[in-house]
Structures are given as structure tokens and as C-alpha cells.
């Protein structure tokens, strides 16, 4: 009896202990929630298992409908060939801007004649693209919200987007080179849009055997003259500078203290030509043998002078300053940079140039004053095989800051901090600048904090973080992998863009939100204050041609009619809720059709679509816009054309018949 009492007692104590431990564990798993939240909000947070950190992130990023984001991030759309506009802090997609590939949801549609892509490729095929670096237009080194440029690495192209209507206006194919990487970057007043080549090839789209790599292959930096009034790059006023066949990488234009200069990284100064199948070292090893590669220091104002003095040759009609002239004319200098550098970024006051070395835990910081001094003193270590002077490393270097593994790209804030992405550490490092207009509280050139990202960060973008006046506050990590952060979407996973709050000082950096982006691969982005954008609400006038940004010259676009001239049928259609006029368009098989459509709406957001089956037409007309499609009616039959935009209650009725008679 006594024995069993003791047993009950022991069992009771054990049970109590278990319950206590269970409560304690549970308590420590659900950390205390903020007390100020309304009870129902607290209940939701509890039910969804949100931590205080989650709640903070949610509140810091939530933008209710009707309220607007403070910033807009323009991210490259990578393989999609598009640009993605994302609101910050909400991290929601506002728009996808078609650039190198048309999209029928936009005036930049399929079969539409008055567009940038049609100007270059007609009705297609449209080559794939690999957009890398967007660049907002600048005035005095600040974003002015007028234009956006973006480079296509795959084909050596640069595009111009007008931010009045967020539409692509021009696609330029480099006349001399067929790939790029350091593109696009702008000079502080957008005098030039800069495009730097990546993989060496013979200039002028021609053939030379790989055995002649050193002799015939080259790199190139192109300065596209930008005409702001016309919103176009003017090829006749542009020029390029021939570079040695090292692989030029990223670039940044100098500003303020370094205005007039451009800085370009390079790797493969070994001039390896690969051929692992022939027993040669593979590219990945061959291009990484040297301890130092060369930071290219290019004086573009001096290059302008050389062009004026006629020191150029024409390749495919395009002005190119030969390497020899560039060296003789004081346009091109090198300074050594540690192992396989990648990003190069100029600080807000323009004095410092930060280089991230992929295979070096440091960033190397150069000083433009020292560079200028070394050039003046002819303080050269040597000249490279092409005669380019190599400045003495120690004469140009200001500091080396140890940050961690795989430093790539650097951005800046308004407090004197620099932020560098660490690919291998998969983190963002915050460190202090020295002798810059902005001054952090800590000692200069020191790592002060790190925040973990998920996973494999490439670029990072801080709000206005590469201008002379960074906004601080937010930074976005553009991560290459997302692994387990989201639901599995098959073997191909979304990228992860992570918003980080950088308002504090020292170690205080807070990860606020993840944003899956199921579109490959957003390499780089720029973040502009939303109030700098002066976007149109509708096109200024009915009959507006967005390609010329002027009222179309074609008379009577708002008078619906059909005219036949010779073998061509001219159709003038008006488009308004909820009908096309005319609704019957009858042509004979074999006739040519030129069809002008004008959206006569003046109401904001009253967009209509226009699509014809069988003829590859898929367009969209924003209020006031006029588009032209042109085709040969070579397939007889009955083709219902219709409005592809759900514009009104009678949207389904908004159609007509194209009758192609035998
Ligand atoms: S590069 Cu460095 S991560 Cu093409 Cu700008 Cu992508
Ligand atoms: Cu117009 Cu639907």
C-alpha cells in the first residue's frame, strides 16, 4: 500500500515536470508578441505562427491599396529580355516593360509597326536577350526620372525606355561588337550611354581564328551619344575605343570628383583561349592564373577630343579610336586589381572607386586624386603587351577592406556606409567609407555589420545607391538561388529579391521581406524615389504615336473609313468602349492591308486590345494611342478580331470581322 502511494507520488511529480517542461518549451517557441497590436491582429499573428520579426517586416512593407510605394525599383528581366518595375517597400510588381521581346499587353505588341523592336526586326523572329544592367538617366549625378537604359549581354544591344509612358523607344545593336556586359551605364548628365564588351572577338563582326587571339581579337568600350530631346541614341555622334582582348567586365562612370572618367574591370588578362577538349586548361582555370588583372581607367572627355581631332577609324561606318591612338592620346590607363575582379562602383562623392575581387576576401578602394597624380607623374609599373601604361598599384590604392568571401558589387547610403554583396558568404557586408562627403560614426575602412541573405547574392541595389545623393533606408539583395524559401515550383525555382532595412547604424540591418520572382534572371536593379518620375496618365492627345512621342502625321486617324489604293487596303479604325469602327473589314486574298487603329478614349486606364487570329497581330492601345499594323491578307477565311483587354461590361461584344474573300 505504502509502496504504491510512493509510486503514485513519483508518477505525479514526473507528470507535473513534463507538463511544466512542455509549457516552457512552448513558451520559448512562441516568443512574446508586441502588446500594442489589436487583439484580432494578435490572434492572426499567433495562429499563423509569426514572430515579432515577421510582424515588423510585414508592417514595414505593407502598402495599402490607394497608398503608393515610396520607391520604384527597375530590375533587369534577364532571359525574358524585359524590365520589371517593382514598388518598394511593398516588393510588388507594378509592371513588366517589354524591351527586347514584344508583348501584346502593351502598345509594344506583336505585328505593330510603330515600335522600337519592329524598327529593327520587323515582324520577327525576335532573338532572345539577356538583359543585365538597367541605368536611369541622370542630371548632375542624380536620377532625373526621364529615361531608362538597359543592356543585352547576349547580342551586344542597348535599349532606351522613355519613362513618360514606360515604353521602349529604341534598340541599338552595336555596329562593331556582338556581346557586352558593362552595359548600360550613364555619365552624370547622360551625355553618353556606355556599353562595354565582355568576351573578346574580332572587331566588326568578322572571322579570325582563335590562334590569332592576341593579334586580332579585341575588347571595346562604346560611348553612345544620347539626344534627350529626341529620346534617342544618335549613332553618328557616338564612338568607341578599342581595348586589348582582356575580358572587360563591369563598369561605372565617374561622378563629381571623377567626372569625365569611366572605370572598367577586366579579367582574363592571361588571354586564355580555352579548349579543354584539346587538353588546354578550361576557361575557368585559364582566366584565373594571374594574381592581378587590370582596372581600366578611361578618360572619356579626352576621347571626345581625339574624335574631334579625327583620330579614329571607321569600322562598319562607326567611329572607333584605335588602341594605339587611345594610349598616345592619354585616354586609357590601367592599374592592377586583385584576382578576378567583378564589380566596380564609384562612391557618392566620386573620389573612391571600389572593386570587388571574386577570389579575394577584400574590396580594393582606389582614389581618383591618386590616380590622377600617378598619371601626371607617369608613375608606371610597366606597360602591358599593347603599350597601355600600368600605374603603380600602391600609388593608386587608398584602402583594402576585408569583408568576407566572394565580394561582388557595392552600393552606398546617405550615412557614409558602403554595402557589398558577398556571393560565397551569401551576405551583405556594411562597411565605412573614409574621406567621403558622407561620414559614418565608426572608424573608416572597417567592416561594421553583416546581414545574411538567401541565397547566393549577386547584385544589390540601394535606394538611389549609385548617385551622388543616395537615399539610404532600403537595400535589395538580388539573390540567384531561393532553394527552400518558397513552395517548390518544379526544378526551376524563382529568384529571391530580399528587402533589407538600412536606416540604422552599425550592425543594425533588418531583413524585411522576401520576394519570389519567377522570371529569369534579374541581374541588377536601380531604385528611384517615386516622386522623381513624371509619368503620363494618358497620352497627351488622341492619335498619339508613342514611337515618335508626337501626334501621328497621318491625317484623319479619328475618322473611321476604308480606302483602297492600288493593291493596298487602308483601314482607319477608332477604338472606344465598346466598339471598333468599322466592324466589317472586307479584303480580297492577296491584298495588302495597312490598318491604323486609334484609341479615342481620354479616360485614365481605358485601354483596349486588338488581336487578329491567323495573322500574328496582338496589340494594345492605351488611351490616345494610335498603332499601325501591316500585313498581306494571304489566307482566305473569316477572322474575328477583338479587344483583348477587359475594358467594359460589353467587352466581349467589342469585336469585328476581317473577311478575306477568295
Ligand atoms: S553581373 Cu555581377 S551578379 Cu552580369 Cu552585373 Cu550579375
Ligand atoms: Cu475594349 Cu475590351
Q: Which residue is listed with cell 516622386?
A: 531
Span 578-609, pLDDT tens digits = 999 999 999 999 999 999 999 999 999 999 99
Pick the ligand that lies closest to the CA of residue 600: 2
pLDDT band at 161 (very low <50, low <70, confident <90, very high): very high
pLDDT band at 437 (very low <50, low <70, confident <90, very high): confident
Pocket test for ligand 1, best of 357, 409, 460, 521 (most atoms within 8 A of CB): 409
Looking at the CA of residue 523, tell me the nearest atom of ligand 1: 6
Mean pLDDT confidence for 433-455: 94
Is it the case that residue 314 has pLDDT exceeding 60?
Answer: yes
The CB of 458 under 6 Å from ligand 1? The reply is yes
Predicted pLDDT at 26? 44
How far apart are the C-alpha atoms of 646 and 575, rounded to whole Å? 13
Instruction: For strands 655-661 and 637-642, give the pairing.
Output: antiparallel
Assess whether the previous peptide bond of 58 is cis (omega < 30° from 0). Answer: no
CA 101 / ligand 2 centre spacing (Å): 24
Mean pLDDT confidence for 564-591: 98
CA 169 / ligand 1 centre spacing (Å): 25
What domains, with CATH codes, occur in the chain? 2-61 (no CATH), 71-97+129-205+212-532 (2.130.10.10), 544-661 (2.60.40.420)
Looking at the CA of residue 458, tell me the nearest atom of ligand 1: 3
% pLDDT > 70, the chain: 95
The CB of 296 under 6 Å from ligand 1? The reply is no
The CB of 523 under 6 Å from ligand 1? The reply is yes
Asked whether the beta carbons of 190 and 226 are under 8 A apart, the reply is yes
How far apart are the C-alpha atoms of 406 and 365, rounded to whole Å? 16
How far apart are the C-alpha atoms of 250 and 265, rounded to whole Å? 6
Q: Whose CA is nearest to atom 1 of ligand 1?
A: 523
Q: Which residue is listed with cell 587538353?
A: 279
Mean pLDDT confidence for 495-509: 96
Mean pLDDT confidence for 152-160: 98
Answer positive or negative: Cα dihedral of 129, 340, 322, 241. positive
Predicted pLDDT at 9? 57
Q: Whose CA is nearest to atom 6 of ligand 1?
A: 523
Lowest mean pLDDT among 28-42, 69-83, 244-258, 458-472: 28-42
How far apart are the C-alpha atoms of 362 and 401, rounded to whole Å? 5
CA 607 / ligand 2 centre spacing (Å): 7
Looking at the CA of residue 409, tell me the nearest atom of ligand 1: 2
Is it the case that residue 434 has pLDDT exceeding 90?
Answer: yes
Give, as one character, the DSSP assignment of residue 625. B
Predicted pLDDT at 358? 84
Predicted pLDDT at 1? 39
Residue spans of alpha helices (H) in 260-322: 283-286, 300-308
pLDDT band at 242 (very low <50, low <70, confident <90, very high): very high
Predicted pLDDT at 287? 84
The enclosing H or E element of 369 equals: helix 368-376
Looking at the CA of residue 480, tell me the nearest atom of ligand 1: 3
- End-to-end C-alpha distance for the chain, whole angstroms: 108
CA 353 / ligand 1 centre spacing (Å): 17
How far apart are the C-alpha atoms of 575 and 582, rounded to whole Å? 9
CA 105 / ligand 2 centre spacing (Å): 12
Pick the ligand that lies closest to the CA of residue 609: 2
pLDDT band at 52 (very low <50, low <70, confident <90, very high): very high
- Which of 7-16, 267-276, 646-655 is modeled with the greatest confidence? 646-655
pLDDT band at 27 (very low <50, low <70, confident <90, very high): very low
Predicted pLDDT at 36? 76
Predicted pLDDT at 13? 54
How far apart are the C-alpha atoms of 345 and 356, rounded to whole Å? 9
Pick the ligand that lies closest to the CA of residue 575: 2
CA 590 / ligand 2 centre spacing (Å): 29
Is it the case that residue 19 has pLDDT exceeding 60?
Answer: no
Extract the C-alpha cell encoding 598. Answer: 486609334
Lowest mean pLDDT among 281-295, 412-426, 609-623: 281-295
- Residue 83 buriedness (CB in 10 A; 0-12 / 13-18 / 19+): buried
Extract the C-alpha cell encoding 39. Answer: 487583439
Measure CA 496 to chain center. 15
How far apart are the C-alpha atoms of 33 and 29, rounded to whole Å? 12
The CB of 524 under 6 Å from ligand 1? The reply is yes
How far apart are the C-alpha atoms of 643 and 653, rounded to whole Å? 9
Predicted pLDDT at 359? 84
How far apart are the C-alpha atoms of 360 and 444, rounded to whole Å? 20
Count of CB atoms situated within 10 Å of the CB of 322: 17
Write down the pTM of the prediction.
0.93
Give, as one character, the DSSP assignment of residue 532. G
Predicted pLDDT at 618? 95
% pLDDT > 90, the chain: 89
The CB of 169 under 6 Å from ligand 1? The reply is no
Structural Rg of the chain based on CA atoms = 29
The CB of 522 under 6 Å from ligand 1? The reply is no
Is it the case that residue 8 has pLDDT exceeding 70?
Answer: no
- Residue 236 buriedness (CB in 10 A; 0-12 / 13-18 / 19+): exposed
The enclosing H or E element of 273 equals: none
Task: Extract the runs of DSSP E, i.e. beta strands, from 182-269.
Answer: 182-186, 192-196, 201-202, 217-227, 232-243, 247-253, 261-267
Task: Extract the runs of DSSP E, i.e. beta strands, from 302-340.
Answer: 313-315, 318-321, 332-338
Q: Whose CA is nearest to atom 1 of ligand 2?
A: 608
pLDDT band at 28 (very low <50, low <70, confident <90, very high): very low
Pocket of ligand 2 (CB under 6 A): 578, 608, 643, 645-647, 651, 654
Predicted pLDDT at 418? 98
pLDDT band at 384 (very low <50, low <70, confident <90, very high): very high
Give, as one character, the DSSP assignment of residue 291. S
CA 211 / ligand 1 centre spacing (Å): 29
- What contacts 582, CB < 8 A, 6 or more positions away? 560, 561, 562, 571, 573, 656
- What contacts 659, CB < 8 A, 6 or more positions away? 584, 585, 586, 587, 638, 639
* Nearest one of 194, 206, 201, 202 to 240, comparing CA atoms: 194
Pocket test for ligand 1, best of 406, 458, 466, 476 (most atoms within 8 A of CB): 458
Extract the C-alpha cell encoding 123. Answer: 515582324
CA 182 / ligand 1 centre spacing (Å): 9
Q: Which residue is listed with cell 554595402?
A: 419
Pick the ligand that lies closest to the CA of residue 478: 1
The CB of 250 under 6 Å from ligand 1? The reply is yes
pLDDT band at 289 (very low <50, low <70, confident <90, very high): confident
Give, as one character, the DSSP assignment of residue 639. E
Is it the case that residue 24 has pLDDT exceeding 50?
Answer: no
Mean pLDDT estimate for the chain: 94
pLDDT band at 2 (very low <50, low <70, confident <90, very high): very low
Pick the ligand that lies closest to the CA of residue 642: 2
Predicted pLDDT at 11? 57
CA 642 / ligand 2 centre spacing (Å): 8
Amino acid at each position: 500500500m505504502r509502496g504504491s502511494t510512493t509510486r503514485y507520488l513519483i508518477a505525479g511529480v514526473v507528470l507535473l515536470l513534463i507538463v511544466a517542461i512542455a509549457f516552457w518549451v512552448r513558451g520559448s517557441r512562441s516568443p512574446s508578441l508586441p502588446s500594442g497590436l489589436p487583439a484580432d491582429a494578435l490572434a492572426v499573428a499567433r495562429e499563423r505562427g509569426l514572430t515579432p520579426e515577421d510582424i515588423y517586416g510585414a508592417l514595414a512593407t505593407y502598402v495599402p491599396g490607394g497608398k503608393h510605394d515610396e520607391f520604384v525599383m527597375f530590375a533587369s528581366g534577364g532571359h525574358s529580355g524585359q524590365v520589371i518595375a517593382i514598388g518598394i517597400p511593398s516588393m510588388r510588381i507594378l509592371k513588366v516593360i517589354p524591351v527586347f521581346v514584344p508583348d501584346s499587353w502593351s502598345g509594344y505588341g506583336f505585328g505593330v509597326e510603330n515600335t522600337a523592336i519592329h524598327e529593327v526586326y520587323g515582324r520577327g523572329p525576335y532573338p532572345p536577350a539577356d538583359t543585365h544592367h538597367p541605368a536611369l538617366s541622370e542630371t548632375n549625378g542624380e536620377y532625373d526620372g526621364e529615361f531608362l537604359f538597359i543592356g543585352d549581354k547576349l547580342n551586344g544591344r542597348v535599349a532606351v525606355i522613355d519613362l513618360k509612358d514606360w515604353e521602349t523607344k529604341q534598340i541599338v545593336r552595336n555596329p562593331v561588337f556582338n556581346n557586352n556586359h558593362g552595359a548600360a551605364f550613364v555619365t552624370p548628365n547622360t551625355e553618353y550611354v556606355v556599353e562595354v564588351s565582355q568576351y573578346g572577338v574580332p572587331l566588326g563582326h568578322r572571322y579570325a581564328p582563335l590562334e590569332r587571339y592576341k593579334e586580332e581579337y579585341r575588347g571595346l568600350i562604346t560611348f553612345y551619344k544620347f539626344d534627350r530631346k529626341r529620346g534617342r541614341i544618335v549613332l553618328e555622334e557616338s564612338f568607341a575605343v578599342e581595348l586589348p582582348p582582356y575580358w572587360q567586365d563591369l563598369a561605372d562612370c565617374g561622378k563629381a570628383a571623377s567626372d569625365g572618367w569611366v572605370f572598367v574591370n577586366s579579367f582574363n588578362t592571361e588571354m586564355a583561349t580555352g579548349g579543354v577538349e584539346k587538353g588546354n586548361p578550361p576557361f575557368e582555370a585559364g582566366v584565373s592564373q594571374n594574381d592581378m588583372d587590370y582596372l581600366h581607367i578611361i578618360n572619356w572627355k579626352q576621347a571626345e577630343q581625339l574624335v574631334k581631332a579625327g583620330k579614329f577609324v571607321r569600322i562598319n561606318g562607326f567611329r572607333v579610336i584605335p588602341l594605339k591612338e587611345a594610349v598616345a592620346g592619354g585616354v586609357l590607363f590601367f592599374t592592377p586589381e586583385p584576382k578576378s575582379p567583378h564589380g566596380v562602383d564609384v562612391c557618392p562623392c566620386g573620389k573612391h572607386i571600389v572593386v570587388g575581387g571574386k577570389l579575394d576576401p577584400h574590396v580594393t578602394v582606389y582614389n581618383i586624386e591618386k590616380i590622377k597624380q600617378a598619371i601626371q607623374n607617369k608613375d608606371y609599373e610597366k606597360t602591358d603587351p599593347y603599350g597601355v601604361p600600368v600605374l603603380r598599384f600602391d600609388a593608386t590604392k587608398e584602402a583594402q577592406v576585408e569583408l568576407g568571401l566572394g565580394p561582388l558589387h557595392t552600393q552606398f547610403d546617405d550615412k557614409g556606409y558602403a554595402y557589398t554583396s558577398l556571393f560565397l558568404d551569401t551576405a551583405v557586408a556594411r562597411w565605412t567609407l573614409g574621406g567621403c562627403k558622407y561620414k559614418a560614426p565608426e572608424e573608416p575602412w572597417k567592416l561594421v555589420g553583416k546581414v545574411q541573405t538567401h541565397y547566393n547574392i549577386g547584385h544589390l541595389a540601394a535606394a538611389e545607391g549609385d548617385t551622388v545623393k543616395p537615399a539610404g533606408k532600403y537595400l535589395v539583395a538580388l539573390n540567384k538561388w531561393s532553394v527552400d524559401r518558397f513552395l517548390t515550383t518544379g526544378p526551376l525555382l524563382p529568384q529571391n529579391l530580399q528587402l533589407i532595412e538600412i536606416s540604422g547604424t552599425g550592425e543594425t540591418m533588418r531583413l524585411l521581406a522576401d520576394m519570389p520572382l519567377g522570371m529569369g534572371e534579374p541581374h541588377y536593379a536601380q531604385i528611384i524615389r517615386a516622386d522623381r518620375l513624371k509619368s503620363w496618365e494618358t497620352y497627351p492627345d488622341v492619335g498619339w504615336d508613342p514611337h515618335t512621342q508626337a501626334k501621328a502625321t497621318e491625317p484623319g486617324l479619328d475618322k473611321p473609313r476604308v480606302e483602297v489604293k492600288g493593291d493596298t487596303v487602308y483601314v482607319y479604325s477608332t477604338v472606344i468602349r465598346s466598339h471598333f469602327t468599322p466592324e466589317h473589314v472586307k479584303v480580297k486574298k492577296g491584298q495588302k492591308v495597312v490598318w491604323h487603329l486609334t484609341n479615342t478614349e481620354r479616360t485614365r486606364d481605358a485601354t483596349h486590345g486588338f488581336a487578329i487570329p491567323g495573322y500574328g497581330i496582338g496589340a494594345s492601345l492605351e488611351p490616345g494611342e494610335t498603332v499601325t499594323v501591316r500585313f498581306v491578307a494571304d489566307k482566305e477565311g473569316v477572322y474575328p478580331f477583338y479587344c483583348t483587354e477587359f475594358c467594359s461590361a460589353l467587352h466581349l461584344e467589342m469585336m469585328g470581322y476581317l473577311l478575306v474573300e477568295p
